[in-house]
Amino acid sequence: MSLYKEWTNIAYEERDQKEYNEFWSIYLDKEKNVYKSILESKENILTGSIEELSDKYNLDSTTFVGFIDGINTSLINPVEIEKLEENSDVKLEIDFEKLYFNMLNAKAPWLYELPEWEEILSKEKRKEITKEYRASKVIVKEKKIGRNEPCPCGSGKKYKKCCGQ
Compute the average pLDDT of residues 3-29. Answer: 93
Model confidence at 144, in pLDDT bands (50, 70, 90)? Answer: confident
**Is residue 1 predicted with pLDDT exceeding 80?**
no
- Half-sphere exposure for 75 (CA within 13 Å, toward CB): 18
Which pLDDT tens digit goes with each residue over 57-104?
Answer: 999 999 999 999 999 999 999 999 999 999 999 999 999 999 999 999
The CB density around residue 63, as the number of other CB atoms within 10 Å, is: 22
Q: What is the pTM of this model?
A: 0.81
The CB density around residue 88, as the number of other CB atoms within 10 Å, is: 18
Return the pLDDT at 8.
Answer: 93
Q: Which of 71, 63, 53, 49 is nearest to 9 (CA)?
A: 63
User: Mean pLDDT score of the chain, rounded to an integer?
Assistant: 92
DSSP 90: E
Q: Where are the domains of the chain?
A: 1-120
Return the pLDDT at 94.
Answer: 95
d(CA 79, CA 68): 8
Phi/psi at 150 (5° precision): -60, 145
Q: Which of 73, 89, 80, 78 is nearest to 4 (CA)?
A: 80
Model confidence at 143, in pLDDT bands (50, 70, 90)? Answer: confident
Compute the average pLDDT of residues 9-14. Answer: 91
Return the pLDDT at 165.
Answer: 81
d(CA 116, CA 70): 19
d(CA 156, CA 63): 65
Residues 6+ away with beta carbon under 8 Å from 118? none
**Is residue 56 predicted with pLDDT exceeding 80?**
yes
Q: Percent of the chain scored above 90 by pLDDT?
A: 79
Model confidence at 2, in pLDDT bands (50, 70, 90)? Answer: confident
Encoded amino acid at 149, one letter: E
Q: Which of 105, 108, 99, 82 is nearest to 3 (CA)?
A: 82
Which pLDDT tens digit goes with each residue over 114-142?
Answer: 999 999 999 999 999 999 999 998 887 88
